[in-house]
Amino acid sequence: MRRGLRLVPLALLLAVVIEIVVFVLVGHAIGFGWTILLVLAASVLGLLLLRREGMRAWRGFRSAAEAGAPPGRQVVDGLVGLGAGLLLAVPGLVSGVVGLLLVVPPVRRLAARGVRVATERRVSAMVAGDLFGPRRVRVRRGAPQPPTPPAADSRPPPATGPAIEGEIVDHRPN
């Protein structure tokens, strides 16, 4: 089992405890009837958002595929929208607030960028290129440097000069 997956049950338990504590605190502040009504309204809104975002994501994916464009941007945006709807549909005030935040366009773009970066790190360059299209890379011109032995923190210096737009192509056989 991956090391990060071992923490999922603990994170879920912590999320449930936080939801209960927030529910009780809000219930004391505005009344439990209003709190239950608020949670139900958020769940209904989440179900409507799930339906709308699912259809929107599918249409965006199909239009990108028909146009021959990489569908990654539409897929990632659809995933973030579906995540927002799912968080709203799940009964809870904290998850509802997080779901509402994911509906706000600047937060949604930030979350989509995070999903895209995480996806690009986990898939091969070829798959990432097929999903998201050609990527920009920085190429530093200059005399070739002799290889240096690896050290604990041997990072190359940051690139300077103009950026050259291009695509990374892997010609190795599968």
The answer to whether the pTM exceeds 0.75 is no
Confirm whether 167 is domain-assigned.
Answer: no
Using only C-alpha atoms, the chain has a radius of gyration, in whole angstroms, of 22
Q: Identify the pLDDT of residue 21.
A: 95
Here the tokens at position 111 are: 């979350």
Number of neighbours of residue 33 by Cβ within 10 angstroms = 9
34 pLDDT tier (thresholds 50, 70, 90): very high
Confirm whether 26 is domain-assigned.
Answer: yes
Q: Identify the pLDDT of residue 152.
A: 56
Per-residue pLDDT averaged across 44-62, rounded? Answer: 88
- 107/42 Cα distance (integer angstroms): 19
31 three-class SS: coil
| Cβ-contact 62, 79 below 8 angstroms | no
Residues 6+ apart with CB under 8 A from 109: none
Confirm whether 51 is domain-assigned.
Answer: yes
**DSSP character string of 40-74:** HHHHHHHHHHHHHHHHHHHHHHHHHHHHT---HHH
Confirm whether 143 is domain-assigned.
Answer: no
Number of compact structural domains in the chain: 1
Q: Identify the pLDDT of residue 40.
A: 93
64 pLDDT tier (thresholds 50, 70, 90): confident
153 three-class SS: coil
Choose the most confident range, by mean pLDDT, from 32-41, 51-60, 147-156: 32-41
Domain that holds residue 32: 13-132
Confirm whether 8 is domain-assigned.
Answer: no
Question: For 8-23, how does the pLDDT look when each residue is reduced to its tens digit (9 = 90+)?
Answer: 888 889 999 999 999 9
